Amino acid sequence: TSTSQQMAANVCDNFTCSFCYLKERYDYKGTKPPFARQLVYLEECYIIKDPFSLPNRGEVLVLGADCSICKCTVCLGCSIFYTQRFCLKCASNNMQKLPFQI
């Protein structure tokens, strides 16, 4: 697969949080948004161009990502990130494996 085909597959769809049902259109899913080349994320996340910033500034908003355990789609408010993304349910069920500070 070519890079352009791969990028096209990662662009523009709807994000819906499995917990709070936040629903928003996203512009890109992945680690390197093409419209913000200076950014590289540690996880594949759902990203939109920041609607409040000036055009072509490369500013973005991260909506959320997929839980690394159950694979459900979760917003940042319904999840935590500690080396990987965890929905609150999976984080709670695996608390003994996470640092006590969390």
Looking only at the bridges linking them, the beta strands covering 23-26 and 13-16 are antiparallel
- Torsion (CA) 31, 79, 17, 69 in degrees, nearest 10: 70
Q: What is the pLDDT of residues 77-94, one digit of tens each?
A: 999 998 999 999 999 998
Looking at the domain assignment, is residue 7 inside a domain? no
pTM for the whole structure: 0.83
Task: Tell me how far apart the alpha carbons of residues 75 and 95 are, in angstroms, rounded to a whole number.
Answer: 20
Looking at the domain assignment, is residue 98 inside a domain? no
Task: Tell me how far apart the alpha carbons of residues 82 and 6 are, in angstroms, rounded to a whole number.
Answer: 28
Q: What is the pLDDT of residues 33-64, one digit of tens each?
A: 999 989 999 999 999 999 999 888 889 999 99
Max CA distance (Å), the chain? 45
Looking at the domain assignment, is residue 6 inside a domain? no
Which of 102 and 16 is assigned the larger pLDDT? 16
Looking at the domain assignment, is residue 81 inside a domain? yes
Lowest mean pLDDT among 13-17, 27-31, 90-94: 90-94
Q: Please report the pLDDT score of residue 102 as a whole number.
A: 65
Residue 26 predicted with pLDDT over 70: yes
Looking at the domain assignment, is residue 5 inside a domain? no
Residue 7 predicted with pLDDT over 60: no
Looking at the domain assignment, is residue 24 inside a domain? yes
Looking at the domain assignment, is residue 101 inside a domain? no
Looking at the domain assignment, is residue 2 inside a domain? no
Let me know if 95 is exposed, middle or buried by CB neighbors in 10 A (0-12, 13-18, 19+): exposed
Determine which helix (DSSP H) or strand (DSSP E) holds 89, and give its type and residue range.
helix 88-93
Which residues in 9-83 belong to E strands, given as ranges? 13-16, 23-26, 28-30, 45-49, 60-66, 73-75, 79-82
Question: Chain-wide mean pLDDT for the chain?
Answer: 89
State the residue range of the domain holding 76: 14-93
- What is the domain count for the chain? 1
Q: Please report the pLDDT score of residue 34 as a whole number.
A: 93
Q: Please report the pLDDT score of residue 1 as a whole number.
A: 46
